[in-house]
Amino acid sequence: MKPAVLLIALSCLSFFTMAQTAPKRKLVFDDEFNYNGLPDPAKWGYEKGFVRDAEPQYYTEKRLKNCRVENGMLVIEGIKEQYPNPKYKAGSNDREEKQEFAPYTSASINTDGKYSWQYGRIEVRAKVPGGNGSWPAIWMLGDDHHTNGWPRCGEIDIMEYLGRDSARVHATVHYADSLGKHRQQGNAPVVGKPADDFHVYAVEWNDQSMTFYYEDLKYYTFEYKNMKGADQNVFRKKFYLLLNLALGSKEDWGGLQDDAALPAKYYIDYVRVYQ
């Protein structure tokens, strides 16, 4: 056999051998949103109320106006409206009770208690809403969130987008150090104009690291060995998935909400988990 022919044959054999031995991923969870109405209750539950930080929105439950499936995709909609707070108590200083009306509504859905995963590729194709105050996210919390608390449970932010910083996307991991103090690491590259179209956001997660993607751009790798003074095992257990649209205020990371940008619609084409 001539040397050139032999080289081609060996190259083909090498490629075939690699293809045969390369691990194949299996789709273990998906929602293609090819139905109409509320999100599939077998897969999705809801956060409800004034849930986090100084965010001004009230997360509603099973309310089509804020969260629905239509035209082959999930729509999470942030709205400016006076929404009665069912937990309101006159004179209370508690965050969940002191406001008689919420100035905004939105939705946050999750797989808590239904589906969770340890490792794999979590992939979401979505179109984020623009405008100051818009704060959509794709993220995960440890299954022990309700018993171990945050940040000890760990948090994986696959994508956060801030309308006030419209050319970037954020990938961040949160955890606690040995004293229980919050620690975080991440990256926020300039990627263009995420709000202009649908894009694929993903994390590839294993027992040593996580790698985050915007389309095919691999823009951040987090290695557990760099968690100084913290338990690396926080990311070696099951996590569940959340999809939400928060709105901004001058007291939180989202920044002051621009009411002219509302209603804000966050479109999710599909959610897929491979292992």
Active site residues: 155, 160
3-state secondary structure of 135: strand
Q: 150 and 52 in contact (C-beta within 8 Å)?
A: no
Residue 83 to residue 81: CA distance in whole angstroms: 6
CB contact set of 106 (below 8 Å; sequence gap of 6+): 57, 58, 59, 60, 66, 76, 77, 78, 79, 244, 245, 246, 247
3-state secondary structure of 4: helix
Give the start-end residues of each E strand in the chain: 27-31, 45-46, 57-59, 67-70, 73-84, 101-106, 108-110, 120-127, 135-142, 155-160, 170-176, 182-187, 199-205, 209-214, 217-223, 239-246, 264-274
Task: Fill in the DSSP letter of residue 180.
Answer: S
Residue 87 to residue 174: CA distance in whole angstroms: 30
Q: What is the dihedral of CA 77, 251, 142, 75, to 10 degrees?
A: 10
**Burial of 183 per CB tally in 10 Å (0-12, 13-18, 19+):** middle
